Amino acid sequence: MVDTAKEGTQASTREWIRRNFGPRAIIETENLSFFYGKEQALRDVSLSIPLEGVTAIMGPSGCGKSTLLRAFNRMYELYRGARVVGRITFLGQDLLKADPVVLRRHIGMVFQRPNPFPKSVFDNVAYGPKVHGIRKRSALQGIVEESLRCAALWDEVKDRLKDSAFSLSGGQQQRLCIARALAVRPEVLLMDEPCSALDPKATDKIEATTRELAEELTVVVVTHNLQQAGRISDNVAVLLAGGELAEFGPTRAVFEDPEDGRVADYLCGRFG
């Protein structure tokens, strides 16, 4: 797996990638198909996730959006009978041959519903760094504060770090999960419908946080909300029934002038 100078900040890591890899995509798939047993969830998906900005993955229910996200950091391996056919690369290296523990340090994930650990706020964020060998209290304190600041949560919890994570509101718990993912300084953050269980106020905070995070790392978001995709994403991939990638490109271009008539129908609400 690529060594991306983990001792630096996320901003310096982004610069390291630009310097060594140029404008190339950070994640690429080639003829990617996915199966849960005999059931096919993705069909010959080929796309390139840009290093810069937010990429949204949209489409009707059951089209494989979340499956594609799970393929990017091999979370699908937790599902019995799941398998991938095709190729996925991360910065040019074969993602399917990487050590999954190392891979998930580079490519973090936030799930649809907040899933904090039954630990304190501090210990939730410090968990990943501890797993990767950081034990010094002062170092952990610095990482926890930085991660909570990046997730726009520090000011709300800085006096509650010893409290249970379950004492936080739903929106705060989701931002805590973002901070937990950021604590190991990934290059990519995958977010699977992170606002679906949140109220409008909490959603606004998650969306603002997503845009801020995109200044320092690559963000890929699955969303059912077309308006949300339009607000937060720079590029959008549209999957349709059967797990087919129907269109991929700059968000404004896809929304205003889609090349595929089926995508136009989906965006207009004629199905999905």
> Is 220 a domain residue?
yes
**Is position 139 within any domain?**
no
pLDDT at residue 4 is higher than 60? no
Question: Kind of pairing, strands 107-110 and 54-58?
Answer: unpaired
Choose from 6-10, 73-77, 119-123, 264-268 the range with maximum mean pLDDT.
119-123
Question: Letter for the amino acid at 53?
Answer: G
* Angle, CA 54 vertex, CA 24 and CA 212 arms, to 5°: 115
- Residue 249: what are its φ and ψ, rounded to 5°? 175, -175
* DSSP 3-state of 157: helix
The answer as to whether 53 is a domain residue is: yes
Q: What pTM does this model have?
A: 0.90
Provide the sign of the torsion angle of the four alpha carbons 104, 106, 111, 117, taken in this order: positive
Q: Is 270 strand, coil or helix?
A: coil
Asked if 161 and 144 count as a contact pair (C-beta separation under 8 A), the reply is: yes
Q: How far apart are CA 182 and CA 180, in angstroms?
A: 5
Whether 203 is covered by a domain: the verdict is yes
What pLDDT is stored for residue 80 in this prediction? 87
Domains in the chain: how many in total?
Answer: 1
Return the C-alpha torsion angle 219, 225, 231, 237, nearest 10. 50
Domain that holds residue 20: 10-111+191-267
> Whole-angstrom Cα distance, residue 52 to residue 215?
8
| Inside any domain, residue 147 | no
Q: Distance (Å, rounded) from C-alpha 260 to C-alpha 272?
A: 15
Q: Is residue 71 part of a domain?
A: yes
Phi, psi torsion values for 87, nearest 5 degrees: -135, 140
Q: Label residue 6 by pLDDT band (50, 70, 90).
A: very low
Q: Write the pLDDT tens digit of every residue in 117-155.
A: 999 999 999 999 999 899 999 999 999 999 999 999 999
Are the C-beta atoms of residues 255 and 230 closer than 8 Å to each other? Answer: yes
pLDDT at 3 over 70: no
Percent of the chain with pLDDT over 70: 93
Neighbours of 226 (CB within 10 A): 17
Question: pLDDT at position 158, please?
Answer: 97
Distance CA 6, CA 15 (A): 12
Sheet holding 82-90, edge to edge: 39-49, 27-36, 82-90, 93-94
**Is 130 among the domain residues?**
no
- Report if residue 126 sits inside a domain: no
> CATH no. for residue 84?
3.40.50.300
> What are 17-32's pLDDT values in tens digits?
777 666 578 999 999 9
